[in-house]
Structure 1
Amino acid sequence: MFAWLNDLPVWLGFLIVTGTLVVVTCAGIALLRPFVLKVFGPEPGRNEQVTMVLTVGGVFYGLLLGLVAAATYQAYDSAQDLVSSEAAAVGTLYREVSAYPEPERVVLQQDLVDYTNNLLTVAFPDLRAGQDPPGGTAIVGRFQQHLLAFEPRTRTQEIVHTAAIEQFAKFDDQRRERINATAGGLPDVLWGVIVLGALVNLAMLCLFSLSTRGAHLLLGGLFAFFLGTMIFLIAALDYPFRGDLSVSPDPVESMYHNVMNR
C-alpha cells in the first residue's frame, strides 16, 4: 500500500505521511469542535465517554503498531544478515577455487568476480529502484557448469573439488534466501487495519474536548505527528531492499575489495 514511498526521498516521504495526518487531525478538530458539546452534552463527564473508548482502542492499536514495527525491523535486520552471509559465502568459495590448477582457477574466479560485480552494479541498484535484476542467475549457472566440468586428477584436487562443491551449495542457499527476502512486505489487509485504526484514533481525538481550541490543536497535532512517524517507519522498512533506507551492500563491497582484490 505504501510501496510508493520508496520512490521518494526519505525526508519527503516522512513529511507527506506525518503532514497528512497532522492536517487531517487539525481540520477534524476545527470542524467537529462546535458539534462536540451538542453530541456529548455539557461538562462534567463530556470527555469520559470519549476517553473510555480512546483508551481501550488506543491500547489495542498501540499494541498492534508496536508488534508490526518490531516485526518489520526484524525482517529488515534479517535481510542485512542475509547479504552479509552471501558475501561471506562468495568470498569463501573464491578462496576455495584458488586452489584449482590452471586454467580452471582463472575461469572459476572470473565467474565469481563477474557475479559480485553484477551484484554491486546491477542487482542492488535495480532492487533499490523496485525492479527485478537480471543476470545473476545466468552467471551462477555458468559457474556451476564450469565447476562440475572439472575432473580431479590427484587426491588433493579431489578433496579441494569436494569442498568447493559443498561451499557452492551453501552459497546458492544463501543467495536464494536473499532473493526471497526481496519479495517481502506486509499484506494489504494488514495495512488496511493500520490505516483504519489510525483514522479511528484520530477521529476519537477530534471528539475530545479541551477548554481552548489552541490546546486541542496542539495536542492533536503532536499525537498525529507521532502516529505518522510510526506508520512512516513501518512503511520505509517494509521492503528492505527498496528505497533510500534499503539494506547496505557494504559486506559485498568489502569482500570484493579485500578478498578478490578488485
Structure 2
Amino acid sequence: MPLDIGYYLPGSLAIAAFVLCAMGGLMAVRRFSNLDRLRLHHDVAGNMFAVGGTLYAVILGLVVVDAIGTFETARTTVEKEADAIANVVLLAERLPADKSAAIKSLCERYILEAVDGEWPLMNQGKVDEKAQNLVVQLLREVSDFEPVTENQKIISPLLIQRSLDLMDQRRARIGISLNGLPSVEWLVLCVGAIVTIVLTYFFHLESYRTQLAMTALIALLIALNLYLVLLFAAPFTGDLTVSAGVFGYVLSAMRAS
C-alpha cells in the first residue's frame, strides 16, 4: 500500500524528511564548495533570494488560500445537501400517507448509504453508484405524484425543486471530491520550494549551526504550507475531511418525528 501523506503520521514524516534533505543539501555545499567565493557573491545572491523567495511566497500563499476556500466550499455543499434532504422530508409529510412513507424511506436509505458507503469511497477517490441511483429514484418518486388538493398542488413543485437541489448539491460534492489540485500546480509548488531552498545555499555565515538552523526553519515553513495545501485541497480524503455528521443529525430528526 503506497504511503498516503494525507494522513497526519505519514505527513509528519514527509515534512521531517523534507527538512532533513534541505539541511543535507546545505551540509554538502559547505563541505564541497569554495566558501570564500560564496562570500564574494552575497550581494547578488541576496537580491536573487529576495526576488525568488517573495515570488514563491506570493504563489504559495494564494494556493493555500484557494485550498482553504475549497474545503469551506465542500463543507457548505454538504450542509446544503443535508438541508435539501430535510426539506424534502418536511414537505413529504403533507402528502398522502403511502407517498409520504415512500419518500421518507428513500431519504433514509440515501442518508445511510451516503454515510456508510459513499464517504469511505470518496476517501479513495471513488463514487458510490448506489447513492446516485437512490437520488434518481427519489426524484422519480416525487415527480410521479399527481396532486389533487390545492395544498398538494402547492407542495408538489416545491418538493420537486428540493429534490433537484439535493441532486445538484450531491453533484457538486462529488465534483469537489474528484477534482483535486491540478498536477501543474503541484509541479510549480514543488519546483519553487526546491529553488527557494537552494538559493539559501549561496550564503556563507560564520556560524555554521546558525545557517543550518535558518535553512531548517525556512524548509519547515515551506513544508508546512505545502502540507496545508495537500490537506485542504482534498476535503474528503485523509485525516482532515468534511464530516458527514450533519446527515446523521437529519436522520435522527427524521426518526424522532
TM-score of the superposition, structure 2-length normalised?
0.92
Tell me, in whole angstroms, the C-alpha distance in 1 between the residues paired with 2:153 and 2:255. 24
What is aligned with 1:88? 83
| 1:5-154 paired onto structure 2 within 5 Å | 5-6=5-6, 9-16=7-14, 18-37=15-34, 41=37, 43=39, 45-154=40-149
The one-letter code sitting in structure 1 at the alignment partner of 2:182 is P
Q: CA deviation at 1:11?
A: 2.8
Alpha-carbon distance, 1:86 to partner: 0.5
How do 1:189-200 and structure 2 match up within 5 A? 189-200=184-195
> C-alpha separation between the residues in 2 aligned to 1:21 and 1:205?
15
- CA contact 2:81–2:166 (8 Å) conserved in 1: yes
Verify: 1:169 aligned to 2:164, yes or no.
yes
Tell me if the contact between 1:129 and 1:243 (Cα under 8 Å) persists in the aligned partners. no
Q: Distance in 1 between matches of 2:237 and 2:248?
A: 18
Deviation at 1:15, TM superposition (A): 2.4
Q: Which amino acid aligns with 1:29?
A: L
In 2, Cα distance between equivalents of 1:144 and 1:34: 70
Output aligned runs, 1:201-240, within 5 Å: 201-240=196-235
Q: Take 1:239 and 1:178, find their aligned partners in 2: how far apart are those partners?
A: 11
* Matched residue SS, 1:131: coil
Partner secondary structure for residue 103 of structure 1: helix
Q: Which runs of 5+ in 2 are unaligned?
A: none
Identical columns (%): 23
SS of aligned partner of 2:236: coil
Alignment-derived partner of residue 157 in structure 1: 152
Moved more, 168-177 or 200-209: 168-177
Q: Is the 8 A contact 1:98 1:105 kept in 2?
A: yes
Counterpart of 1:84 in structure 2: which amino acid?
A: E
Structure 1 position 36, deviation (Å):
4.2
Structure 2 CA distance, aligned partners of 1:26 and 1:148? 64
The total of aligned residue pairs comes to 256
Cα 1:213–1:98 change in 2 (3 A) is same
CA RMSD of aligned residues (A): 2.0
The reply on whether 1:250 has 2:245 as its aligned counterpart is: yes
The answer on whether the counterparts of 2:95 and 2:152 sit within 8 Å (CA) in structure 1 is: yes
The structure whose RCO (Cα within 8 Å, separation 6+) is larger is 1
Report if the CA contact (8 A) 1:118-1:136 is conserved.
Answer: yes
Structure 1 stretches of 4+ moved >4 Å: none
